[in-house]
């Protein structure tokens, strides 16, 4: 023996096949194996909900009827009731009540797996792909997706943007001919109308708000700006005529794209343009096309990804999309909360 007794003995480097470990190269991935280990069945998912919503230790929770902390137990019965019972007053507490899982005929584990799949890709996953992965009907897969986007990813209560904000309007799913006409009108007569008109506002180094709007008139766009941007902010736009009066409510800078000026010192709209290219590339690649009816929910998904970017040690100062695991945990945490009442 040539090591001293104080030294830790080096563990044998044999691979334990019953307990696979994550390869160092896949730091950004929460693998399917890890998911399955944490959520092997419906019971594990239900337990997760129970602990997240009510009982950190799995046993003690504040009883809504007794109004004090009580011991809860899960009694195993024939119907396998999805509830925990207060051992003092007998009240049943259902961890799924009020959440997206409530009254769903789809199993909890499938729901969790759908959350895993959606967050394990960078630019989304189609309902068709979800259908294949989950082994459910297309209709079910599509509905699950819709619920996840509309209830978990839509940030309806987002605080107004401030500081330096770039604003821009864009159009989705337009034919080339329409686009040319658009360009023509844009530099000529002014306001344009398209059924897939989208308006985006983004803080530099911050959050994005995207809205599917009826048109790109000055009235519509300034209404959105007033609603989502604080008055003292610096707003940068292009020369679109609808922004002519933006300076009345905000500090306003414009960049003249028609004169081939893209960046003039601090005045540019590169951040929002970058966001558009991500969304358009994603929608083209994953979803192919999006109907006007569901456009907002797709936009919400991309905005959610963008707004949950974080600083990582690898590239200091640059906010990047979180790892699949971080996104998954964020979404699961949101899924454990009761749904906000419909406005």
Footprint on this chain of Zn ion (rule: CB under 5 A): 63, 65-66, 70, 86, 88-89, 91
Instruction: Please report how close the Cβ of residue 38 comes to Zn ion at its closest, in angstroms.
Output: 30
The whole-angstrom separation of Cα 137 and Cα 301 is 22
The whole-angstrom separation of Cα 108 and Cα 41 is 8
The whole-angstrom separation of Cα 306 and Cα 300 is 10
Instruction: Please report how close the Cβ of residue 128 comes to Zn ion at its closest, in angstroms.
Output: 47
Query: Which residue lies nearer to Zn ion by CB, 85 or 269?
Result: 85
Query: Which residue lies nearer to Zn ion by CB, 89 or 230?
Result: 89
Contacts with 253 (C-beta within 8 Å, 6 or more apart), sequence order: 234, 235, 236, 237, 266, 267
94 CA to centre of own chain: 26
Cβ atoms 162, 203 nearer than 8 A: yes
Instruction: Please report how close the Cβ of residue 61 comes to Zn ion at its closest, in angstroms.
Output: 9
Instruction: Please report how close the Cβ of residue 69 comes to Zn ion at its closest, in angstroms.
Output: 10
Q: Which CA distances in Å does 54 have to 83, 87, 96, 151, 221?
A: 12, 15, 11, 21, 43
Query: Which residue lies nearer to Zn ion by CB, 84 or 236?
Result: 84
Cβ atoms 248, 177 nearer than 8 A: no
Query: Which residue lies nearer to Zn ion by CB, 70 or 211?
Result: 70
Instruction: Please report how close the Cβ of residue 196 comes to Zn ion at its closest, in angstroms.
Output: 52
Query: Which residue lies nearer to Zn ion by CB, 55 or 201?
Result: 55
Instruction: Please report how close the Cβ of residue 86 comes to Zn ion at its closest, in angstroms.
Output: 3
Cβ atoms 195, 178 nearer than 8 A: no
Residue 170 CB coordination number (10 Å)? 19
Instruction: Please report how close the Cβ of residue 85 comes to Zn ion at its closest, in angstroms.
Output: 9
103 CA to centre of own chain: 23
The whole-angstrom separation of Cα 199 and Cα 215 is 9
169 CA to centre of own chain: 21
Query: Which residue lies nearer to Zn ion by CB, 91 or 239?
Result: 91
Cβ density class 260-275: b for 16+ within 10 Å, e for less: eeeeeeebbbebbbeb
Query: Which residue lies nearer to Zn ion by CB, 89 or 232?
Result: 89
């Amino acid at each position: 023996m040539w090591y001293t007794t104080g030294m830790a003995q080096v563990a044998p480097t044999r691979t334990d096949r019953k307990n696979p470990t994550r390869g160092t190269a896949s730091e950004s991935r929460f693998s399917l194996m890890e998911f399955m280990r944490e959520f092997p069945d419906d019971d594990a998912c239900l337990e997760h909900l129970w602990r997240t919503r009510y009982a950190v230790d799995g046993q003690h929770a504040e009883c809504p009827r007794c109004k004090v902390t009580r011991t809860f137990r899960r009694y195993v019965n024939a119907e396998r009731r999805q509830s925990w019972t207060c051992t003092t007053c007998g009240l049943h507490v259902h961890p799924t009540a009020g959440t997206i899982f409530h009254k769903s005929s789809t199993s909890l584990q499938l729901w969790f797996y759908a959350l895993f799949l959606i967050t394990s890709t960078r630019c989304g996953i189609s309902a068709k792909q979800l259908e294949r992965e989950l082994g459910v009907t297309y209709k079910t897969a599509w509905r699950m997706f819709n619920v996840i986007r509309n209830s978990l990813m839509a940030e309806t209560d987002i605080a107004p943007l401030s500081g330096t904000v770039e604003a821009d309007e864009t159009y989705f799913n337009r034919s080339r001919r329409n686009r040319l006409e658009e360009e023509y009108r844009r530099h000529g007569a002014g306001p344009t109308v398209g059924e897939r008109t989208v308006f985006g506002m983004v803080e530099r180094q911050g959050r994005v708000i995207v809205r599917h709007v009826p048109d790109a008139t000055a009235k519509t766009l300034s209404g959105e700006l007033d609603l989502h941007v604080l008055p003292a902010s610096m707003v940068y736009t292009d020369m679109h005529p609808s922004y002519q009066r933006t300076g009345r409510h905000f500090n306003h800078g414009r960049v003249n794209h028609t004169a081939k000026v893209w960046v003039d010192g601090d005045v540019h709209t590169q951040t929002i343009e970058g966001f558009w290219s991500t969304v358009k590339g994603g929608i083209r690649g994953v979803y192919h096309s999006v109907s006007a009816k569901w456009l907002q929910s797709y936009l919400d998904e991309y905005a959610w990804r963008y707004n949950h970017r974080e600083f990582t040690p690898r590239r200091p100062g640059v906010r990047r999309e979180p790892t699949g695991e971080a996104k998954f945990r964020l979404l699961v945490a949101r899924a454990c909360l009761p749904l906000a009442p419909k406005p």
